[in-house]
Structure 1
Amino acid sequence: MERHPPGLFIPVARLSDLDARGRTVVQVDGRAVAILRVAGALYAVEDACPHREGPLSEGDLDGFILHCPLHAWPFDVRSGICSSTPDVRVRTWPVRVLGEEIQLKVDRI
């Protein structure tokens, strides 16, 4: 498994990889990461709910709140914080787009 040094933006997908809902899932350093388009911007969150490992990429979006498809735990895609239980969160990554390329900043391992 390739590990990337912290602090670098790495290419993970292309804009054309986003589905009709504006979503895709990529692998970054062995983790599934959901990329979602919300209000015209891209956000990247860990694709596993900490409760029961539900695939967040398949959950419903209500504004910036992404609901786990298993038990509807609500996570803010901007911060990763669970709005119903603020001490629970999923990891997030900074996202940038260069041309058609989607890049994530690997800021910690």
Structure 2
Amino acid sequence: MNGQGDEHFIPVARLGELDERGRAVVRVGEEEVALVRVDGRLHAVQQACPHRGGPLSEGDQDGCLLYCPLHAWAFDVRTGASPTNPGARVRIYAVRVIGDEIQVAASSRLRAP
């Protein structure tokens, strides 16, 4: 996602801090946010699954779908929507990379299109 308009981005990590799967967990204000790389592009989603609070960053991934490791609820990292549980969703955040610095929008949460 590209930062646009009045978004206020804050640095949260460096590219070298992503694990071998292209993931990391960072803090944005009071919330833990999972960074997930898909096809070379970074996405930022809330870390806790809304079902039972499972750590999404530790779940399996299939393309843009990230699965909760507790009960396999799937979430699309691009939209936050769950294709397997209608009505369930996770928050997503705008993310950008400047040089090797990963920045996440702190001023607002994105809504799914």
Q: Decide: shared fold, TM above 0.5.
A: yes
Q: Name the structure 1 match of 2:60.
A: 60
User: What is the aligned partner in structure 2 of residue 102 from structure 1?
Assistant: 102
Opposite residue 65 of structure 1, the aligned amino acid is: L
Deviation at 1:85, TM superposition (A): 1.8
**TM-score relative to the length of structure 2:** 0.88
Instruction: Name the aligned partner's letter for residue 72 of structure 2.
Output: A
TM-score by length of 1: 0.91
Q: Which amino acid aligns with 1:48?
A: A
CA distance in 2 between partners of 1:60 and 1:7 (Å) = 30
1:83 Cα offset (Å): 0.8
Alpha-carbon RMSD across the aligned residues, in angstroms, is: 1.3
Structure-1 separation of matches of 2:40 and 2:108: 26
Partner of 2:92: 92
Distance in 2 separating the partners of 1:64 and 1:107: 24
Equivalent residue letter for 2:55: P
Q: 1:87 aligns to what SS in structure 2?
A: coil
Distance 1:43 1:7 in 2: 16
In structure 2, the gaps of 5 or more residues are: 1-5
Letter in 2 for 1:16: G
Query: Is 1:81 aligned with 2:81?
Result: yes
Q: How many residues are treated as equivalent by the alignment?
A: 104
- Larger relative strand fraction: 1
Match of 2:43 in 1: 43
Taking every aligned residue pair, what percent have the same amino acid on both sides?
58
